[in-house]
Amino acid sequence: MSFLTDFADQAVILPLALAMAVLLTACGWGRGAMAWIACVGATLALTGFAKLLLAACGPVQVGAGLRSPSGHTAAATIVYGGLLCLGWRRAHPASAWLAVVAALAVSVAIGLTRVALDAHTLPDVLAGGMVGGLGLAALLALAGPPPQRLRPAWLAIVVVAVAILTHGLHVRAEPAIGEVARRLAALLPGCAAPVNQMRP
């Protein structure tokens, strides 16, 4: 499970997102590159903000409790799902819906690893998947049609190259989020509860 979940660690996701922005720009797809940067950035920022708010104000009691939206699930949905959809749209425009199904499968697979590793609750994973799904929908709406110069194989090559270089590394943002949340809790009315234990 750890092997699979590490593909959605920020140590892999951030370099991959940057590499893809460069590739899309190099292919002459300025609109796609800008949509990519905006939607991936907004998805990661929204997930981080939700983590911060929940850490400061306490969990939302939904089922097992929404403690911290799964950043791995959100990131996998927008980045890997986005790449699948953009590449598939270029190669097989008539069956683009299949890419959405594949993106959903990636999101579910990463989400299940987070639950299996006891890193998140099911509501955490669902929240992360929803944030990532919103980002993916925005990406597909804003990117426009891919140019002829973009080859799906190039997307795959970049994913493999980045994964080889970064898989197994970890970005530990939780301590920093926890510290900011402690300070935020003192400033927000009704958020004086003890800060939750942050989950990755």
> Tell me, what's the pLDDT at 189?
74
Please give the tally of structural domains in the chain.
1
Q: Is residue 12 part of a domain?
A: yes
> Tell me, what's the pLDDT at 114?
97
pLDDT tens for 27-62 read: 999 999 999 999 999 999 999 999 988 888 887 755
Query: If you ran DSSP here, which 8-state letter would residue 151 be given?
Result: -
> Tell me, what's the pLDDT at 61?
57
| pLDDT surpassing 90 at residue 175 | no
102 within 8 A of 109, measured Cβ to Cβ: no
Angle at 76 between CA 195 and CA 34, to 5 degrees: 105
Q: Within its chain, how far is the Cα of 69 from the centroid? A: 11
pLDDT tens for 68-122 read: 999 999 999 999 999 999 998 888 888 888 999 999 999 999 999 999 999 999 9
Q: Is residue 174 part of a domain?
A: yes
Q: Is residue 199 part of a domain?
A: no
> Tell me, what's the pLDDT at 65?
77
Q: Is residue 195 part of a domain?
A: no
| pLDDT surpassing 60 at residue 161 | yes
Structural domain of 50? 2-187
Q: Is residue 131 part of a domain?
A: yes
Q: Is residue 109 part of a domain?
A: yes
The structure tokens listed for 93 are: 């425009």
Residue 60 sits at φ, ψ, to 5 deg, of -95, 125
Q: Is residue 193 part of a domain?
A: no
> Tell me, what's the pLDDT at 126?
96
| pLDDT surpassing 50 at residue 196 | no
Mean pLDDT for all residues in the chain = 90
Write out the H or E segment, with its range, that includes residue 97: helix 96-116
- The three-state DSSP-derived secondary structure of 2-59 is HHHHHHHCHHHHHHHHHHHHHHHHHCCCHHHHHHHHHHHHHHHHHHHHHHHHHHHHCC
Q: What is the share, in percent, of the chain residues with pLDDT greater than 70?
A: 92
pLDDT tens for 128-141 read: 999 999 999 999 99
> Tell me, what's the pLDDT at 200?
47
Q: Is residue 200 part of a domain?
A: no
